[in-house]
Amino acid sequence: MTPTVQIEGSVGRVILSGQFDFSAHREFRQVCESIIANPDIKEVLVDFQNVNYLDSSALGMLLLLKEKIAAASKTLALVNCRDTVKQVLEIACFGKIFTIR
Amino acid sequence: MKILVVDDTEAILLLISRFVEALGHSALVARNGQEAVELWRAEQPDLVLMDVMMPIMSGPEAAVQIKAEAGGTWVPIVFVTGVGEENALADAIERGADDYINKPVNFRVLEAKLKAFGRTLDLNRKVREQSQTLADYYERAEEEKRVVRHLMDQMVNSERLADPQFDYLLSPAESLSGDLIAAARTPGQALHILLADGIGHGLTAALNVLPLTQPFYSMTEKGYSITDILFEMNAKVRQVLPIGRFVCVSLISIDEVSGTIEIWNAGMPPIQILDANKQVLRVCSSSNLPLGIVPSHSLDLVPERIYYKEPGYIIAYSDGLVEARNPSQTEYGLASLLGVLAQTHAESMIQAVQEHLNDFLAGGQHHDDVSLVVARFGLDERELQAKLDIEAVKPKVDPSTIDFNLATECNWRYSLILSADELRYVNTIPFMMSFVKEIKSLSHVQSDIFLILTELFVNAVDHGLLMLDSKIKTAPDGMEVYLAQRAERLAHLQEGRIEIDLMGLQYKDAEILKIRVKDSGAGFDWRAIYNAHDAAAIPSSTFGRGVSLVRALSLKVQFIGLGNEVEVYYLPTQT
């Protein structure tokens, strides 16, 4: 999986695709770091439109991202979740700590 | 490079070895194949430049021997060949030699070839070093895994998992499991089952679940509720694990005495409650964040409560089971699991699921840890009796012959007074149980004492201080209403106090435990309800069961004065 980044004004969108699991660890971290380091970006959206599966290590990566984003005083939302992704997020009750749209 | 030059012609030998030295290598010389082999053994040169036709042993023969002895180490052998030696040369190269150069030697070509071999040798050495490092690393990792596996086995303690009330299946995707199953009983014999799934699998997943075991076992043994245990487990996971690591957990409590199941599910697949015919009665879905993400006080740790009258089964599993995929990428699924369970006898459920899953995977491997717990509830009276071991504690002394006035010599005494402020927060009974555990004459009857203390204390709080009416419990949903009222009234309790005394009294050569519980409430007309010594008159309905249980366990139960004070005499069984 290679995440891509779209920047629209103050919104940075990280578009993921395929399987989001531990194998995406490095690419995901690099992309996120570049977005966090960008002072113009105020809101980060993680776009799951093309993700068909995510596992528990992906949830761990999202938690890490949330922590870093909060430290950089930006906001974070998870968007365009398909049913399979939504299901995993629901079982983990991530709706309680993430904005999911 | 250290180069072995072999030739039976002295002039050529000298010429080549000088040239080699001139290029900055060191040269060793041998005059036939035999010498070459011996010198190779002694000096282990990096490369061999060898004549083909030589007395005693020919070049190709020597080459075969050197190659055979070198084994995994690559020693390039280059033949220096005269005209008409093509056949022998081809043969030699087929049997392992690496290259050749024609006589008379063109030094420009020789130099180039030596450089090429030097490069390949470097590469070869690097690969060997790396594979050695990799092998070392692998061995170290295996050793670490062995240690962790041992640790896990010790901490998870599979002996304790041998409980007749439940069966389980645990099948790791790798040699270590990130799924954890633990079980223990409270002093009141409620069964606590923990099913946890650490993030990922293998070593780090296994490490994730380790912090759970200690609070689970120690707090269960002291009689803490699952809410308290979860609070502690979450705190522990947060303290130990880095951000981004968390543990999905189901904690189940089955209390056969009160007919209550409590379930708290965070991030695990929905727990299925089945009736005796294995039809789904109820589903307890995850309604909480996994442990380790937010502080304990922001978690809702109140479990789902189920009151049962009929027997049934609790089915808890990790996602690795239902998401296991066969070679054609179909998921095993919950329907398959429930289907197999419905068709199988209670005793062989686990085995049936295992076989069915194996057939389904058709020789393939599951990619995540697989775990499954099948617990029974609603044991019949006989099983329950055996579980509570009530038979064994029937007093050997006839209580009617005991003169309790004689039992006044106090060996030890432990007194506790709590007022409203403490009663709201202190978990009194587990707290007292840590004391009871330390008293030698009581440590083997903790279960009885826990039951007696719990009943007396709950009575004192609920009826003495909070003035709750047990009749509420008999209505439909009565238990929920009762507990809700209890929580509400306790939170607003402003005054009131409870005294608890534990005393070890010497009676003849035995030690009798006297428990006194007094509350500041109004009391009740015990004379009208209980005829002294007539335990049979007590109803065994949804309430009043507590007092009859206490009577069954102890020598004597005596209400005093207004009825806000009760004394219980208990004789520990002899060990």
CATH number at residue B186: 3.60.40.10
- 3-class SS shares of chain A: helix, strand, coil, % to 5: 45, 35, 25
**In this model, does residue B200 exceed pLDDT 80?**
no
Higher pLDDT, B133 or B560: B133
Q: How far apart are CA B265 and CA A45, in angstroms?
A: 29
Lowest mean pLDDT among A33-42, B135-144, B244-253, B377-386: B377-386
According to DSSP, the residues that pair with A7 across neighbouring strands are A12
Candidates B243, B268, B368; nearest CB to A64: B243
* CA separation, residue B150 to residues B43, B139, B176, B197, B211 (Å): 46, 17, 10, 19, 15
Nearest-CA distance from B564 to chain A in Å? 46
- The model's pLDDT over A13-71, given as tens digits with 9 standing for 90+, comes to 999 998 888 888 888 988 899 999 999 999 999 999 999 888 888 998 999 999 999 99
- Cβ–Cβ below 8 Å for A97 and B289: yes
Q: Is residue B146 part of a domain?
A: no
Average pLDDT over residues B152-172: 80
Higher pLDDT, B203 or B117: B117
* B148 contact A CB<8A: no
- Cβ–Cβ below 8 Å for B243 and A97: no
E-assigned strands of A55-96?
A: 75-79
Among candidates B279, B359, B365, which has minimal Cα distance to B320?
Answer: B365
* Close Cβ partners of B403 (under 8 Å, ≥ 6 residues apart): none
**In this model, does residue B540 exceed pLDDT 50?**
no
Final residue of a structural domain among B351, B384, B417: B384
State whether B413 and B336 are in the same domain: no
* B268 contact A CB<8A: yes
Candidates A63, A94, A96; nearest CB to B244: A63
Which pLDDT score is estimated for B46?
94
AA letter at B344 = T
> How high is the mean pLDDT of chain B?
86
Task: Give the residue from B179, B238, B243, B321 with the most A CB atoms within 10 Å of its CB, the best one to mutate.
Answer: B243
Candidates B243, B248, B368; nearest CB to A67: B243
Nearest-CA distance from B201 to chain A in Å? 9
Half-sphere exposure (Cβ direction) of B428: Cα atoms closer than 13 Å? 24
As given in the structure block, the two tokens for residue B392 are 């064994």
The H-or-E segment that residue B115 falls in is helix B107-156
AA letter at B308 = Y
Between vectors from CA B431 to CA B464 and to CA B516, what angle results, nearest 5°?
45
- Cβ–Cβ below 8 Å for A63 and B290: no
Q: How far apart are CA B571 and CA B574, in angstroms?
A: 9
State whether B344 and B447 are in the same domain: no
Half-sphere exposure (Cβ direction) of B476: Cα atoms closer than 13 Å? 0
Return the percentage of chain B with pLDDT > 70, whole number: 91
| CB pairs A-B closer than 8 Å | 49
State whether B107 and B233 are in the same domain: no
Supply φ then ψ for residue A91, to 5 degrees: -60, -40
State whether B303 and B354 are in the same domain: yes
Final residue of a structural domain among B333, B349, B384: B384
**In this model, does residue B393 exceed pLDDT 50?**
no
Q: What is chain B's length?
A: 575
* B248 contact A CB<8A: yes
Q: Is residue B331 part of a domain?
A: yes
Final residue of a structural domain among B348, B365, B384: B384
Q: Is residue B447 part of a domain?
A: yes
Task: Give the residue from B179, B197, B199 with the most A CB atoms within 10 Å of its CB, the best one to mutate.
Answer: B199
Residue in the structure block whose two tokens are 């640790």: B151
- Cβ–Cβ below 8 Å for A93 and B268: no
State whether B161 and B117 are in the same domain: no
Lowest mean pLDDT among A26-35, B60-69, B398-407, B511-520: B398-407
Q: Which of residues 303-342 of B touch A (CB under 8 A)?
A: 319
Between vectors from CA B499 to CA B497 and to CA B502, what angle results, nearest 5°?
165
- Cβ–Cβ below 8 Å for A93 and B289: yes
Q: What is the DSSP string of chain A?
A: ---EEEEETTEEEEEEEEEESGGGHHHHHHHHHHHHH-TT--EEEEEEEEEEEE-HHHHHHHHHHHHHHHHTT-EEEEE---HHHHHHHHHTTGGGTSEE-
Supply φ then ψ for residue B558, to 5 degrees: -135, 120
Q: How far apart are CA B254 and CA B256, in angstroms?
A: 6
**In this model, does residue B474 exceed pLDDT 80?**
no
AA letter at A18 = G
Give the burial string for B438-447 (b: 16+ CB within 10 Å, else e): ebebbeebbb
- Cβ–Cβ below 8 Å for B289 and A94: yes
Q: Quote the number of domains for chain A.
A: 1
Among candidates A5, A70, A30, A28, which has minimal Cα distance to B243?
Answer: A70
Q: Is residue B396 part of a domain?
A: yes
Q: Quote the number of domains for chain B.
A: 3
pLDDT-based confidence at B409, cuts 50/70/90? confident
The H-or-E segment that residue B430 falls in is helix B428-438
* A61 contact B CB<8A: yes
pLDDT-based confidence at B73, cuts 50/70/90? confident
AA letter at B534 = D
* Domain range for B48: 2-126
Average pLDDT over residues B46-56: 92
Which pLDDT score is estimated for B392?
46
pLDDT-based confidence at B337, cuts 50/70/90? very high
Which pLDDT score is estimated for B532?
46
Query: SS3 of B291, please?
Result: strand
pLDDT-based confidence at B398, cuts 50/70/90? low
Q: Is residue B68 part of a domain?
A: yes
Average pLDDT over residues B60-87: 87
* B25 contact A CB<8A: no
Nearest-CA distance from A61 to chain B in Å? 6
Measure the CA dihedral A26/A27/A30/A35, to 10°.
Answer: -140
**In this model, does residue B120 exceed pLDDT 90?**
yes
**Which residues of chain A are within 8 Å of residue B266 when distances are taken between CB atoms?**
93
State whether B231 and B341 are in the same domain: yes
**In this model, does residue B32 exceed pLDDT 90?**
yes
Among candidates B231, B238, B242, B237, which has minimal Cα distance to B264?
Answer: B231
Let me know: does B157 contact B142? Beta carbons within 8 Å. no
Which pLDDT score is estimated for B537?
45
Which pLDDT score is estimated for B563?
84
Q: How many CB atoms lie under 10 A from the CB of residue B385?
A: 12
Which pLDDT score is estimated for B376?
92
Preceding peptide of B104 cis, ω within 30°? yes
Q: How far apart are CA B500 and CA B486, in angstroms?
A: 21
Question: Is B449 exposed, middle or buried, given 0-12, 13-18 or 19+ CB atoms closer than 10 A?
Answer: buried
* Close Cβ partners of A62 (under 8 Å, ≥ 6 residues apart): A46, A78, A94, A98
Which pLDDT score is estimated for B385?
58
The pTM of this model reads 0.73
As given in the structure block, the two tokens for residue B142 are 């295996």
Average pLDDT over residues B284-294: 93
Average pLDDT over residues B258-278: 93
Which pLDDT score is estimated for B157?
65
As given in the structure block, the two tokens for residue A10 are 């103050």
Task: Give the residue from A56, A57, A87, A96 with the most B CB atoms within 10 Å of its CB, the best one to mutate.
Answer: A56
* Domain range for A20: 4-100
State whether B76 and B188 are in the same domain: no
Average pLDDT over residues B166-177: 84
**In this model, does residue B499 exceed pLDDT 70?**
yes
State whether B504 and B470 are in the same domain: yes
pLDDT-based confidence at B48, cuts 50/70/90? very high
pLDDT-based confidence at B114, cuts 50/70/90? very high
Which pLDDT score is estimated for A93?
92
* B289 contact A CB<8A: yes
**Which residues of chain B are within 8 Å of residue A56 when distances are taken between CB atoms?**
197, 199-200, 248
Supply φ then ψ for residue B358, to 5 degrees: -60, -45
Average pLDDT over residues B511-522: 90
* A100 contact B CB<8A: no
- The model's pLDDT over A70-83, given as tens digits with 9 standing for 90+, comes to 999 999 999 999 88
Q: Report the chain B residue with the minimal C-alpha distance to residue A66.
A: B244
Which pLDDT score is estimated for B172?
83
Q: How do strand B271-275 and strand B312-317 relate by DSSP bridges?
A: antiparallel
Candidates A57, A93, A96; nearest CB to B199: A57
Q: Is residue B564 part of a domain?
A: yes
pLDDT-based confidence at B226, cuts 50/70/90? very high
State whether B380 and B394 are in the same domain: no
* A91 contact B CB<8A: yes
Let me know: does B189 contact B388? Beta carbons within 8 Å. yes
State whether B452 and B556 are in the same domain: yes
Nearest-CA distance from B360 to chain A in Å? 22
CA Rg value for chain A: 12
Which pLDDT score is estimated for B391?
43
**In this model, does residue B538 exceed pLDDT 50?**
no
- Cβ–Cβ below 8 Å for B199 and A60: yes
Task: Give the residue from A53, A54, A91, A97 with the most B CB atoms within 10 Å of its CB, the best one to mutate.
Answer: A91
Higher pLDDT, B404 or B388: B404
Query: SS3 of B460, please?
Result: helix
Let me know: does B547 contact B456? Beta carbons within 8 Å. no
Among candidates B516, B556, B507, which has minimal Cα distance to B407?
Answer: B507
Higher pLDDT, B423 or B84: B423
Q: Is residue B140 part of a domain?
A: no
Identify the CATH number of the domain in which residue A69 sits: 3.30.750.24
* CA separation, residue B186 to residues B1, B446, B540 (Å): 73, 10, 23
